[in-house]
């Protein structure tokens, strides 16, 4: 068993489920230790868990293989996505009558925002706050006096069952604690976009199998996000109209597909692929127009995801939009050269999982206390009440250990100590007079209580 701490992340995509365990340096550089992936089949549709039982079986199998040579897994970070993902603005105002803005005022605005309950949706995250003092924009409002402060929050919404299905599949069925949720398009942006691109303005487009995510950034803030329910799978299914099986259609798309066919001879497959690609591009451009930032994106369109690898996809988008377009993968500076699989890192289909690892902070490996003396062990048996990782105090202390602590914790290779069950307290045998007399005859130099009898 390999000792050491690591972060672990799980990305549930329409075409595949992938899990990665990795170590991280203090400056956030990722070194991949182990990777496992499995085809999603029909258990996930357009980024949403469709079959909980099948999904949990696949996750359990993935995690088992992932940690075969690693310390047992305690928890894992998970991405949230799906076709219901979208943004919505919420504005909170507060009259402060000339007082200087302080943290308490900012917290009250956040609290008001957190109480907001949209219809038929759940607030998954609150990001990119913009502040206005007496109508004037202010990047850093703390300490500035005003009559009225206004905060404009970007809410990321999704269907209420998104988290519920993830918890059922991972925590209830697979018995793995969720270390935290991250919005998948935000995780992708964290490892793909540069500060310059987010500041000047760009549109990030991630082509998935079931959906295409569009995220618009300006002034280093997320301005708009939407999930377009069209992805690479619709092209594959369209190709099945040529009387070929879906696996063959997928292979045809990958090997010979062309988003921009400029040859004189047009094959039926080329017509089908180009028509569907044009439909997806048209939807992207419509959503950029709806965002209101169509003319404010000098950094253009950055594309990523597995669908971005379709031949001439970059040229097709550039031709239709008249905007700068480039293909992007995870930034090389974020991934160590010691990682086991450089090809995996360079594939734009895997950008989301690297984003999840980049955002993860807590050690996900199960922490096993160092074995000490008998006296020490007898005073530190687990409580009869199960511990809840993540809580304060003595309970859940193992989840509070920093990922970057220098000291390694030894692993005690005893099954009874790694299962979390109470250890049996050694029972001392009572020794009577005749036993002591017999012991003395066997050897006066030998101790009355033999240390070898203590387990």
Instruction: Write out pLDDT tens, residues 284-313.
Output: 999 999 999 999 999 999 999 999 999 999
Place of tokens 């991972």: 170
Same fold, 1-84+160-193+330-429 and 195-327: yes
- The percentage of residues in the chain with a pLDDT greater than 90, rounded to a whole number, is 69
The domain made up of 195-327 has a fold known as Nucleotidyltransferase; domain 5 (3.30.420)
CATH of domain 1-84+160-193+330-429: 3.30.420.40
| Cα distances (Å, whole numbers) of residue 14 to 41, 81, 196, 197, 231 | 8, 10, 31, 28, 10
104-119 pLDDT per residue, tens: 999 999 999 999 999 9
Domain map (residue ranges) of the chain: 1-84+160-193+330-429, 86-158, 195-327
pLDDT for 210: 94
Does the structure show a pLDDT above 70 at 393?
no
pLDDT for 266: 79
192-231 pLDDT per residue, tens: 999 999 999 999 999 999 999 999 999 999 999 999 999 9
Give the confidence band of 341 by pLDDT, cuts at 50, 70, 90: low
Does the structure show a pLDDT above 80 at 403?
no
How far is the C-alpha of 109 from the C-alpha of 386, rounded, in Å?
A: 37
Please state the φ and ψ torsions of residue 375, each to the nearest 5 degrees: -60, -40
Burial of 235 from C-beta contacts in 10 A (0-12 / 13-18 / 19+): buried
Mean pLDDT is lowest, of 98-102, 263-267, 361-365, for 263-267
**Is the entire prediction scored with pTM above 0.75?**
yes
68-90 pLDDT per residue, tens: 888 899 999 999 999 999 999 99
pLDDT for 267: 86
Does the structure show a pLDDT above 90 at 15?
yes
- The more confident residue out of 160 and 378 is 160
Mean pLDDT is lowest, of 367-376, 404-413, 430-439, for 404-413
The predicted model gives 155-167 an average pLDDT of 95
- The more confident residue out of 292 and 412 is 292
pLDDT for 342: 66
32-72 pLDDT per residue, tens: 889 999 999 999 998 899 999 999 999 999 999 998 888 89
164-203 pLDDT per residue, tens: 999 999 999 999 999 999 999 999 999 999 999 999 999 9
The domain made up of 86-158 has a fold known as Dna Ligase; domain 1 (3.30.1490)
Mean pLDDT is lowest, of 267-271, 344-348, 399-403, for 399-403
Rg (alpha carbons) of the chain, rounded to whole number:
28
pLDDT for 171: 95
Average pLDDT of the chain, as a whole number:
83
């Amino acid at each position: 068993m390999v000792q050491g701490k690591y972060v672990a992340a799980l990305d549930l995509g329409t075409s595949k489920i992938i899990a990665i365990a990795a170590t991280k340096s203090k400056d956030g550089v990722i070194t991949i230790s182990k990777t496992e992936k499995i085809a999603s089949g029909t258990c996930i549709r357009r980024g949403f868990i469709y079959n909980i039982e099948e999904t949990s079986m696949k996750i359990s199998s993935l995690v088992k293989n992932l940690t075969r040579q690693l310390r047992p897994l305690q928890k894992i970070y998970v991405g949230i996505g799906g076709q219901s993902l979208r943004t919505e603005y919420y504005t909170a105002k507060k009259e402060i009558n000339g007082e200087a803005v302080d943290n308490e005022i900012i917290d009250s605005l956040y609290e008001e925002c957190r109480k907001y309950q949209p219809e038929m949706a759940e607030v998954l995250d609150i990001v990119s706050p913009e502040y206005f003092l007496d109508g004037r924009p202010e990047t850093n409002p703390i300490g500035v006096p005003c009559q009225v402060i206004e905060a404009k929050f970007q809410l990321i919404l999704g269907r209420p069952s998104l988290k519920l299905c993830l918890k059922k599949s991972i925590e209830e069925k697979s018995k793995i604690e969720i270390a935290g949720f991250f919005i998948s398009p935000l995780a992708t942006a964290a490892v793909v976009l540069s500060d310059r691109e987010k500041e000047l303005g760009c549109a990030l487009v991630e082509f998935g199998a079931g959906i295409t995510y569009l995220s618009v950034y300006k002034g280093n803030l997320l301005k708009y996000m939407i999930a377009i329910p069209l992805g690479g799978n619709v092209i594959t299914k369209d190709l099945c109209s040529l009387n070929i099986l879906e696996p063959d259609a997928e292979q045809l798309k990958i090997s010979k597909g062309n988003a921009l066919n400029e040859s004189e001879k047009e094959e039926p497959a080329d017509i089908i692929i180009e028509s569907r690609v044009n439909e997806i591009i048209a939807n992207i451009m419509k959503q950029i127009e709806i965002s209101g930032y169509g003319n404010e994106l000098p950094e253009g369109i950055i594309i990523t995801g597995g669908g971005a690898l379709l031949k001439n996809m970059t040229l097709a988008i550039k031709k239709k939009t008249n905007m700068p377009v480039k293909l992007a993968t995870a930034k090389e500076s974020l991934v160590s050269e010691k990682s086991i699989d450089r090809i995996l890192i360079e594939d734009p289909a895997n950008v989301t999982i690297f984003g999840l690892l980049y955002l993860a902070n807590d050690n996900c490996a199960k922490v096993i206390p160092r074995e000490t003396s008998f006296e020490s062990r007898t005073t530190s048996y687990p409580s009869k009440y199960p511990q809840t990782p993540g809580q304060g105090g003595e309970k859940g202390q193992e989840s509070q250990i920093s990922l970057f602590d220098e000291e390694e914790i030894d692993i005690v290779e005893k099954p009874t100590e790694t299962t979390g069950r109470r250890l049996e307290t050694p029972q001392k045998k009572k020794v009577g007079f005749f036993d002591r007399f017999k012991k003395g005859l066997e050897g006066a130099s030998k101790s009355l209580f033999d240390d070898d009898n203590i387990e």
